[in-house]
Structure 1
Amino acid sequence: MKLNSIGLDTEKANDLAEDLNHLLANFQIYYQNLRGIHWNIQGRAFFDLHVKFEELYTDANTKVDEIAERILTLGGTPLHTFEDYSAKAQVPVGKNISKDDKAVRLIVDSLAELLKIERDLLEKAGDANDEGTNSMMSDFITEQEKTVWMMKAWLSETV
């Protein structure tokens, strides 16, 4: 087993970097969805949701940077084109969404996809003894689960 400069198995680190690129692609689509619904939201909930969506896209932008930097830390190269993002992403793309319930539903559905990817990464990072990726995924999951709960409460749905 060959170790990289941070003490991880090189092959496992490369695999994790590839999986993180998959997460990065999905986060970029999620981020762009949030920008779109922030810009286009209409209706009586405009003031509250406009601010909330800005909060979420600011957070997503920070996470995009953290994911890219983790990929670099593991020795990989972060994806950086919309072509790559579109090809790898599974989160739903929201186009011209202006209704509050559809916007919030898009967030819930997107986070559900992100959580699947993050849980898979959490397991793989644990197997690779990669505490950095493990910790990042754990933090992301905790935050996003709470956001799903809040958005579902807004939709009057149970988790």
Structure 2
Amino acid sequence: MKTNILGLPVEKSELIIVELNVLLSNFQVYYQNLRGIHWNIRGKRFFDLHVKFEELYNDSQLKIDLIAERVLTLGGRPLHTFEDYIKYNQLVVGKNVSNDEKAIHLIVDSVSHLLKIERGILVKASQINDEGTNSMMSDFIGEQEKTIWMMQAWLDETL
């Protein structure tokens, strides 16, 4: 079995690269959704939510960079065009969302779907002992599960 410079099997690493690029594409759409709701949020909760949405999109921007750099570390090329992002996107695109509850539901639904993608990557990376990807996915998953919990608490809904 041929391995890369990291000691990981090339063929299986290439499959993880594809999945990471899918995650990257979905994160880019999530980021744009967050920017849109940050800009368009209205109502009595504006001040709190405007700040929270900025916090979330800044965090997403950091994660996007980490994903792209992981793709490069594994020997791939990160997707970087809107055409690619749209092609691989699986999230609902939030257009002109200004209602607070609709915005929070969009975030919960998006993060929930990102978690599914990340868990799939985690399984594949575990199978080849790709600890770098595993660690990143584990960190993302822990943070995003907390985000969902907080958003559900804000909505006063149970998981």
TM-score by length of 2: 0.99
What is the match of residue 91 of structure 2? 91
In 1, Cα distance between equivalents of 2:41 and 2:24: 25
Q: Does residue 15 of structure 2 align to residue 21 of structure 1?
A: no
Runs of 4+ in 1 over 2 A off after TM superposition: none
What is the match of residue 50 of structure 1? 50
What is the match of residue 118 of structure 1? 118
Q: Does residue 158 of structure 2 align to residue 158 of structure 1?
A: yes
1:47 Cα deviation (Å)? 0.3
In 2, Cα distance between equivalents of 1:82 and 1:93: 13
| Per-residue Cα deviation, 1:41-94 (whole angstroms, up to 9, x for no partner) | 000000000000000000000000000000000011000001100110101100
Tell me the amino acid that sits aligned with residue 119 of structure 1: R
Q: CA RMSD in A?
A: 0.4
User: Gapped runs of 5+ residues in structure 2?
Assistant: none
Q: Does residue 70 of structure 2 align to residue 70 of structure 1?
A: yes
What is the match of residue 4 of structure 2? 4
| Per-residue Cα deviation, 1:103-150 (whole angstroms, up to 9, x for no partner) | 000000000110000000001000011000000000000000000000
Matched residues, percent identical?
A: 68
TM-score by length of 1: 0.99
In 2, Cα distance between equivalents of 1:128 and 1:104: 36
Q: How many residues align?
A: 159
User: Gapped runs of 5+ residues in structure 1?
Assistant: none
1:8 Cα deviation (Å)? 0.4
What is the match of residue 107 of structure 2? 107
SS of 1:32's equivalent? helix
